[in-house]
Chains A and B, each alone.
Chain A
Amino acid sequence: MLDHTSPIYEIANVYDETPSTITIDFEELSVTKICNDTCGAPNSKDFTVKVDDTIIPFYEIVASINSGRINLQLLNYRITYQQKVYLSYMPSSDMTSDGIERRFRDIYGNEAKYFSNKLILNHVFPAPRIALVSDLKHSVLQIYFTGSGANVGDLHVDDWTVWYEKDQRGLNFPGYCTDLKNNVSNTTTVWTDDAGETCETFQKSKCVSCGLQI
């Protein structure tokens, strides 16, 4: 059956595995109707990609057809968590053979329709933006994330590993043991175990046996 309907924009996605690639789906009877070899060669000059308030230059985008979808690969940009990405497509008005080739179509020759300012679905995960220790809280390591940041999670210390690589003078850090602070009275109590060992003796001898080399 001959189909005279043009491919119409349906949805666009960007996924965490490929944060530099926008995938555009069209409303079609078959996802492969925009075929790979004979259905045109989309050109990045016909697309506008706006990330938040920044327009990505067309020469930093590569457009291609893959399994009935249009892929836009951003050469120098990675989309991050919660960024708003808007997409427009305006078919070329160039009537030369090159211009016609740019207007991609389905296997019946129906050219894809233009679309404007479509908000794509952003599936990119939150990622750490910066980890810091501020001068206000010397014993708290703060980790900030992309987007509006981390707001969910019952965190567990076993999932986090922190180590010192250099001491305050820039030398390799030998490590040491610390008496834990009593947060009730905000004092540090010198600890001694049943065998009379202090943290100092523990540092010298015991930490190796418990898996922490000093």
Chain B
Amino acid sequence: MSFFLRVSIFPSIQETQYLSKQTYCEQFGALIPLNGLPIANVACCACGGGTYPVQLINATVVRHPTLGRADLFLPRKILNGEILVVKYTKHATNSSRWIGGGDGLFSDSWDRLVVENNVWPTLLNSYVPNENASIITLEFTGRGLVHGQR
């Protein structure tokens, strides 16, 4: 009976890559934001969209004498044409988390900063339609190509 169960219920686990909460989330724990969400599903699978926030992988200051900046690491690549918005909430008490210059002045919170998307259109796919075999169609990311010469 027990032999029958091992064969019928678990064989797919041995054939596919199986990543449990322990193996995946502990191995790649450094990637996972400390966002107070304890469930492995939440931590390993980054979700976002609509008016709901994207889970960020990391945030860091890139120091530079004239162009110091903040980098936010997103869970996936941005495509041409996508519109993102970023909001910053200055922590009420923990000043080490504040972002600022080297002179003791720090940025205030802001609610809405639209991100400039400088990602170029990239080829999504190309195909020859069945109804007209003499045309090759190239499809790009973004909102379509409007410039260019044949």
**A interface residues (Cβ-Cβ under 8 A, vs B):** 16, 81-82, 123-128, 130-135, 138-145, 147-170, 172-184, 189-194, 197, 199, 202-203, 206-207, 210-214
Contact = CB atoms under 8 A, between A and B. Distances in A.
B101 A126 contact: yes
B87 A148 contact: no
Q: How large is the interface on B (under 10, 10 to 19, 20 to 34, 35 or more residues)?
A: 35 or more
Nearest to B50: A175
A152 B67 contact: no
Contacts of B83: 164-166, 170, 173
Given A125-B100, A143-B72, A151-B64, A193 B40 contact: yes
Most A-side CB within 10 Å, residue of B72, B118, B141, B143: B72
Interface in B72-91: 72-91
B84 A162 contact: yes
Contact of A149 (B18, B39, B68, B86): B68
10 contacts: A126-B105, A139-B77, A143-B70, A145-B99, A151-B68, A160-B56, A162-B72, A165-B85, A175-B48, A206-B45
B120 A151 contact: no
Interface in B24-76: 24, 28, 31-37, 39-42, 44-76
B119 interface: yes
B105 A123 contact: yes
A155 B61 CA distance: 7
A114 to B, nearest CB: 30
A140 B120 contact: no
Contacts of A176: 47-49
Contact of A173 (B49, B53, B75): B49
Contacts of B36: 158
Contacts of A213: 50, 52
Given A151-B101, A160-B59, A168-B141, 12 more contacts: A131-B115, A133-B119, A139-B73, A148-B68, A150-B99, A153-B70, A176-B49, A177-B45, A178-B46, A193-B19, A210-B47, A212-B52
B97 to A, nearest CB: 5
B8 to A, nearest CB: 15
B14 interface: no
The majority secondary structure among interface residues of chain B is loop
A159 B84 contact: no
A40 to B, nearest CB: 34
B132 interface: no
A186 to B, nearest CB: 12
A145 B107 contact: yes
A141 B63 contact: no
B39 A210 contact: yes
A191 B119 CA distance: 27
Contacts of A155: 59-61, 70, 97, 99
A154 to B, nearest CB: 5
B135 to A, nearest CB: 22
Contact of A142 (B18, B71, B79): B71
A180 to B, nearest CB: 6
Contact of B71 (A141, A172, A212): A141
A152 B70 contact: no
B86 A161 contact: yes
